[in-house]
Chains A and B, each alone.
Chain A
Amino acid sequence: MSNIHQLTNKEREIAERLKTVVDPEVAVNIVDLGLVYEIEHNEEEKSIRVVMTLSTRGCPLGDTIMQNVEVVLEANYPGYKIDVELVWEPMWSPEMITEAGRQAIEGM
């Protein structure tokens, strides 16, 4: 399992794919919002595992975002076993937003 800041090339490619998943409230992608904590790509087992969080517990769009992650991964990596895990620890905070995410939010 790779931390979002220490990804392999393949996992970086997966992170780029996940940038198409947008939080509809702020219209910023989930990777730049800092919601994706870990990505694991296992070529032998043909599996992809994503560990992520949401900006708040009880986020009204929570399962829509999670479903979007699954759909995007299934579409881009057919034949892979996709596992998206939701965690609440560590708790998300605005400091986790990337520079690109900050610019997107400030430019809104």
Chain B
Amino acid sequence: MQAGLSTKNAPSPSVVLPHFVFAALMFLTASVVMLVAAPQLVLPYHLNSGMLTLTHLMVLGFITMIIFGSLYQLIPVVMEVKLYSEMLAKITFWLFGSGLLILVFNFWEADFGSAQNWLWFEISGTLILAGVILFAINTLKSAFHSERMDMGNIFVVTGIIYLVLTVSLAILIIINFAHPFIPVSVLDLLKMHLTLGLTGWFLFLVIGVSSKLMPMFLIIHKLPDYLLKYTYYLLNIGVIALATTYYFYPQPWALMLSALPILAGIILYLSYNYYAFKHRFRKNLDTGMKLSKAAFIILAFTVLLGIFSMVSPDFLSPFQLHIDIAFIMSILFGFLTALILGQTYKTLPFIVWLQKYSAKVGKQKIPLPQEIYSDRIASLHMKTFYVAFTFLILGELAGLVWLIQAAGAMFIITAVLYNYNVFKIVFHKEKIIENE
């Protein structure tokens, strides 16, 4: 058809859809783990099997997996290029997925004592790293062919580079556990890993993708893109400064100073979002965008927790550990989960709808993308999610196991409802609406 149209670059749904199904199931698994492992989630040491199983199920199984699937769809569409290799994407899925399952099973079984066997950690870590490198090759090769390198696309490409750094560091940490060779404390290495993963990979990805999708979903033009540019520089300076400070000079004042650009970058990004929501043409938000709006409010709350976590004022010292864990949980189970739950409804139905109905458009009466899932179920799990998240944060801050178990139960309900809709969309059977 016409030059400038990009939908035809979209890959086959068989590349994208398995990522959404796998991710939804991992979210459910993580919710069950939260319920079962609740007593371990308030322990005074982070490196316990329950916490590591839970965080990696969320970080790799749910969040990263769904980002992989979304980027395979989004990069070709918004960058107006073909995906470099669909076969490579399918191989990546299996390498990454199998590596993740082995890794979390080993975390669950591990006691991290002196007799701990690290072999399966090394194998699973290698599978995950191989998957990540193939993903990076595939997406970066596609992106570099694009002639549309605007700020949103630059954020995405930079995020992918941070992902490779994050997973490479994780492999070094695993090897260092088995054969110590890095002259830095394990805790500081893990904080480097967290900085690269949470701020480098996730935040860059979220900013890049949201800057592309928000104008479409909210109906808004002329967003203050200069804010994104400053956010980009500040976040890069902050991530690199904080990660290197953890390695070379992990003193509290130096760490706080290094984190300041990240804080400033997030505040600018939140201002950008505030502007978008305030000036949007489409005033009535659907469930997907309500959850996305909630995600940005949770991000502001998470930043506050992050400030308390880093500054660790004296009057909060008895609660320091609780605040640290609540901060991480707020990122994973709050900000990122709300965003993914919401954006699933803004992307997945359209991918399936295009596959099933694009050839029938205009010829037969067909359902709209919004009509191939249950909005009632989506609205219900939005409410259960709010309750679950509130229970989790209060449970972590107060160190109450029963409240975290209640959060786990509410997250299970949320995940079951979410899975219901994901499966309903993915396995949607074509239907033609009869004329009245």
**A interface with B by C-beta (< 8 Å):** 20-22, 24-27, 55-64, 66-72, 75, 84-86, 88, 91-94, 97, 105-106, 108
Contact = CB atoms under 8 A, between A and B. Distances in A.
Which of A57, A105, A106 has the most C-beta atoms of chain B within 10 angstroms of its own C-beta?
A57
Nearest to A22: B368
B354 A61 contact: yes
Interface residues of B, number: 38
Contacts of B398: none
B78 A58 contact: yes
B418 interface: no
Interface stretch (B20-28, B32-40, B60-68, B210-218): B210-218
B358 A24 contact: no
9 contacts: A22-B368, A26-B282, A60-B216, A61-B7, A63-B7, A67-B361, A69-B362, A71-B361, A93-B221
B362 A21 contact: yes
Contact of B2 (A22, A58, A86, A106): A86
A86 B217 contact: no
With most chain A CB atoms within 10 A of its CB, the pick from B1, B5, B8, B362 is B362
Contact of A88 (B4, B220, B354): B4
Contact of A60 (B2, B10, B361, B362): B10
Contacts of B80: 58
Contact of B1 (A26, A63, A75): A63
A41 B340 CA distance: 46
Contacts of B179: none
Contacts of B358: 63-64, 67
Closest A-B pairs by Cβ, 9 of them: A71-B362, A86-B2, A58-B78, A94-B281, A68-B362, A63-B7, A68-B361, A93-B221, A63-B5
Interface of B: 1-8, 10, 73, 77-80, 148, 212, 215-217, 219-222, 281-284, 286, 350, 353-354, 358, 361-363, 368-370
A56 B215 contact: yes
Contacts of B215: 55-56
A57 B4 contact: yes
Contacts of A92: 221
Contact of B362 (A56, A58, A75, A91): A75
Contacts, number: 100
Nearest to B8: A63
A58 B350 contact: no
A24 B350 contact: yes
B263 to A, nearest CB: 31
A55 B1 contact: no
Nearest to B284: A108
A62 B5 contact: yes
A24 B221 CA distance: 19
A24 B353 contact: yes
Given A26-B282, A56-B215, A106-B283, A66 B221 contact: no
Nearest to B216: A56
Contacts of B216: 25, 55-56, 59-60
A21 to B, nearest CB: 7
A25 B426 CA distance: 18
Given A68-B362, A94-B220, A24 B4 contact: no
A106 B282 CA distance: 7
Given A24-B353, A25-B217, A86-B2, A62 B7 contact: yes
B149 to A, nearest CB: 13
A63 B362 CA distance: 13
A21 B365 CA distance: 11
A73 to B, nearest CB: 9
A72 B368 CA distance: 17
Which residue, of A25, A26, A59, A72, has the highest number of chain B Cβ atoms within 10 A? A25
A66 B370 contact: no
A67 B362 contact: yes
Nearest to B212: A58
Given A26-B282, A60-B10, A60-B216, 12 more contacts: A25-B369, A60-B7, A61-B350, A62-B6, A63-B1, A64-B361, A66-B1, A72-B362, A86-B5, A105-B284, A108-B284, A108-B286
Contacts of B354: 60-61, 64
Contacts of B361: 64, 67-68, 71
A52 B44 CA distance: 61
A101 to B, nearest CB: 10
Given A68-B361, A105-B281, A94 B219 contact: yes
Contacts of B148: 57-58
A24 B356 CA distance: 14
Given A24-B369, A56-B215, A94-B219, A66 B5 contact: yes
Contacts of A26: 219, 282
